[in-house]
Structure 1
Amino acid sequence: MTSPLLQRHGAVAAGGADAGVGWHYGDPTAEQRALAAGGAVVDLSYLGVVTVTGPDRLSWLHSITSQQLVDLLPRTSTETLVLSPHGHIEHAAGVVDDGTTTWLVTEAAGAAGLASWLGSMRFMMRVEVADVTDRWAALGEPIDAEGGPDEPVTWRDPWPRTLPGGTRYGPADDEHPGAERPWRIVLVPRADLAAAVAEREATGWRLAGTWASEAARVAAWRPRMAAEVDHRTIPHELDWLRTAVHLHKGCYRGQETVARVHNLGRPPRRLVMLHLDGSGHLLPRPGAEVSLAGRVIGAVASVARHHELGPIALAVVKRSADTEADLLVACDGGDVAAGQEVVVPGEGLSVDRPAARAPVARGLGPRTALGPGQL
């Protein structure tokens, strides 16, 4: 679906997963600054929206996804993942309940698939699932607040707060760069999208494109289903146990992998932010190879040109790659040097990983001398 806001003078269309909305509206730097100052709105109407109704909706979603949802209060936001039996991420969704309906905000390309999978899991539960993307549009706002009783359905991004039952691999919540990114998504009837934006512009806000919102997301190390996730991704690799996984709830598909990797440590890969050398004015494409000492160790997931940090990217690399080394990123026109900012540490251990009762693998804990007769 193409947003009516693309008819604005100076609008440049976004591509990829954001297709259908504005990448920028003529001045991406000014739009980023307005967003950072808390005075801009972003058209996110490319996002998908799925609803679940019925008296069993929360207990049912709780039983089949990664988050604690059975006791979710109205107008309280969280997020959840649908995992494969092997713990790989298949869907991610922001979750908020209005008292009668649970709203799932997800990637447009995955909305139909998510609705279809949920529908196949209904069995005898009293729930109804609908993909309502064609009726509801999303707007992004730099506000750190839940929606009020008189506001539209609003999902407040919990990132990077470590939610109850979650854990973290990266820095403490108040030291995390994502703490500087207030963000929420407001759902409006799709027919009222332009009017909702005009309402905000009347208060002095500016319309900003996804160039601005994506630059803020990358700088906040915020993972996204359409970018940082591939068919092998487990949540530990992206530090997504902060906000999307509850480690102490009942069984759900993929839980065994979540628990095993949390207990043993060492996820296969890790998310890293790259500060790209901008002297050559080259930017890599998503999917570009990341190399160290002549060997490919991963790939770029998201790329942005930030108004203060310059060219930056999120990449997923081998966990064992040296966290201190400068990397090379493949670009059209030549490789670009990149410094790392560690998101998931190289040792691959969360801050509350249970102490091992016995050695589980070489390098996972302090070495102790073996006594006589021990192997």
Structure 2
Amino acid sequence: MTEKYTSILLGRDGAVEASGVDSGVAAHYGAPTREARRLFAGQAVADLSHFDVLEVSGADRQSWLDTLSSQRINNLAPGQSTQALLLSIQGRIEHEMKVLIDQDRVLLIVEPGRGAALEEFLNSMRFMLRVEVKNLSASHGVLAATREIPTAGQLIWHDPWPGITEGGWAYSREEHPGAERPWNLHVVELEKLTEAVGEEQLAGMMAVEALRIAAWEPRFGAEIDDKTIPHELDWLRTSVHLNKGCYKGQETIARVHNIGHPPRRIVLLDLDGSMHTLPAVGSEIKLGERTVGSITSATLHFEEGPIALGVIKRNVDPAEVLSVIDGDSVYPAAQQVIVAPDAGQVAGRFTGFLRTPPKP
């Protein structure tokens, strides 16, 4: 049995440990709303040292990952980064990888606890290729900020969200709130975590999630279930290259995009603030008496108040006010459309801006 990870930064004053998949790091350090403001403004750093990190080395490393994943990786230079998915034959999301190219290796950042499953899958696909997969999760983790952290080194994954990467396609509108939140993940050695943080102010996972939800960015550990396809989450923006070569799940990607619509769509919900609480993840989203989806993430944002991400049936009218049901509590919820009901190639490609990784 793997020993539970506990960050050394949980020893800081005021630290309260997060729960669930984020246990082992701080939910907050005593003031989650203030921490979110600081994190958004570039005045704080978040401890994501519980995220898993894998290393892929060998001469065939990039071409191999390119053939397996939804994203073009073979053409990236050292210092560049992207996002990629591993899909089932049916196009359902099985793994999400934050890909960082280093000089003689590729680093993959994945959700807490997902490293072992990804390592096992990748090793099963090595065949005779010149690649080696190593799980670095016991020795490496991640620090996050809306800017680069001077004391944390130069192994930095730059989040492409919400830009439209080469070969990508946007299912949401041109004016995207995620443009206000650049996001950088520094890969650091756990034994040097305190040194990497330096004198920076700290923000907990509640702050991280508040910024993510307000930026409409899906998270593998939250918005994904066993039926999710990338179109439903607007992940064709950053994690799918529609014109690259064959990979598992490509037929579904192409068919839904070119001649259909995703069966569900991610939506941001503005919740009634009079409840003074947040609905639990998994709470039903209803239109009248009909269940049309469920809550996947919820937060109290420092400007927007109580908001949530949910996944609902595609054909729900965006003008409808929905209800979120959590036990005896009922939260009226207005929709902010992320993925449009008519999303697909015929709906047009928004090209408001393109966020590309910085050149090394």
Q: TM-score, normalising length from structure 1?
A: 0.89
Q: Equivalent residue for 2:192? A: 192
Summarize deviations over 1:106-157 as a string: whole Å, max 9, x none.
Answer: 01221110111000000010000011111101000112x6x99x93311011
Name which of 101, 111, 117 aligns with 1:113. Answer: 117
Is 2:290 aligned against 1:269?
A: no
Give distance in 1, aligned partners of 2:154 and 2:140: 11
Give distance in 1, aligned partners of 2:348 and 2:16: 46
Tell me the secondary structure at the aligned position of residue 178 of structure 2: helix
Deviates more, 1:82-91 or 1:26-35: 26-35
Is 2:280 aligned against 1:282?
A: no
Summarize deviations over 1:325-366 as a string: whole Å, max 9, x none.
Answer: 011111244111111000000112246769xxxxxxxxxxxx
Structure-to-structure mapping, 1:40-189, within 5 angstroms: 40-143=44-147, 151-172=153-174, 175-189=175-189
Tell me the secondary structure at the aligned position of residue 275 of structure 2: coil
Is 2:20 aligned against 1:20?
A: no
Q: Is the 8 A contact 2:66 2:74 kept in 1?
A: yes
Aligned residues: 344
Give distance in 2, aligned partners of 1:304 and 1:352: 31
Q: Equivalent residue for 2:292? A: 297
Q: Equivalent residue for 2:358? A: none
Structure 1 unpaired stretches of 5+: 355-375
Q: Equivalent residue for 2:309? A: 314
Question: Displacement of 1:180 after TM fit?
Answer: 0.3
Q: Equivalent residue for 1:232? A: 227
Give distance in 1, aligned partners of 2:113 and 2:186: 19
Give distance in 2, aligned partners of 1:196 and 1:49: 17
Tell me the secondary structure at the aligned position of residue 34 of structure 2: helix
Structure 2 unpaired stretches of 5+: 350-360
Give distance in 1, aligned partners of 2:184 and 2:277: 32
Q: Which amino acid aligns with 1:37?
A: A
Question: Displacement of 1:6 after TM fit?
Answer: 1.0
Tell me the secondary structure at the aligned position of residue 29 of structure 1: helix
Give distance in 2, aligned partners of 1:78 and 1:350: 23
Q: Which has the higher contact order (CA 8 A, sep 6+)?
A: 2
Q: Is the 8 A contact 1:57 1:102 kept in 2?
A: yes
What is the RMSD of the two structures over their aligned residues, measured on CA atoms?
1.6
Tell me the secondary structure at the aligned position of residue 165 of structure 2: coil
Summarize deviations over 1:191-219 as a string: whole Å, max 9, x none.
Answer: 1112211x1x2xxx310001111100000
Give distance in 1, aligned partners of 2:102 and 2:346: 34
Q: Summarize the Cα distance change of 1:25–1:295 in structure 2 as closer, same or farther, 3 Å threshold.
A: same
Q: Equivalent residue for 1:361? A: none
Question: Displacement of 1:77 after TM fit?
Answer: 1.1
Give distance in 2, aligned partners of 1:311 and 1:121: 44
Q: Is the 8 A contact 1:65 1:82 kept in 2?
A: yes
Is 2:238 aligned against 1:248?
A: no
Give distance in 2, aligned partners of 1:320 and 1:249: 30
Tell me the secondary structure at the aligned position of residue 279 of structure 1: helix
Question: Displacement of 1:300 after TM fit?
Answer: 0.5
Give distance in 2, aligned partners of 1:268 and 1:100: 41
Q: TM-score, normalising length from structure 2?
A: 0.93
Summarize deviations over 1:245-302 as a string: whole Å, max 9, x none.
Answer: 0000100000000000010131000000011111021211111110001100001111
Give distance in 2, aligned partners of 1:162 and 1:151: 27
Name which of 35, 42, 45 aligns with 1:38. Answer: 42
Q: Is the 8 A contact 1:169 1:351 kept in 2?
A: no
Tell me the secondary structure at the aligned position of residue 109 of structure 1: coil
Q: Summarize the Cα distance change of 1:43–1:347 in structure 2 as closer, same or farther, 3 Å threshold.
A: same
Tell me the secondary structure at the aligned position of residue 242 of structure 2: coil
Q: Which amino acid aligns with 1:178?
A: G
Give distance in 1, aligned partners of 2:153 and 2:188: 10
Q: Is the 8 A contact 2:256 2:344 kept in 1?
A: no
Task: State the percentage of identical aligned residues.
Answer: 49
Tell me the secondary structure at the aligned position of residue 195 of structure 1: helix
Is 2:14 aligned against 1:10?
A: yes
Question: Displacement of 1:160 after TM fit?
Answer: 0.3
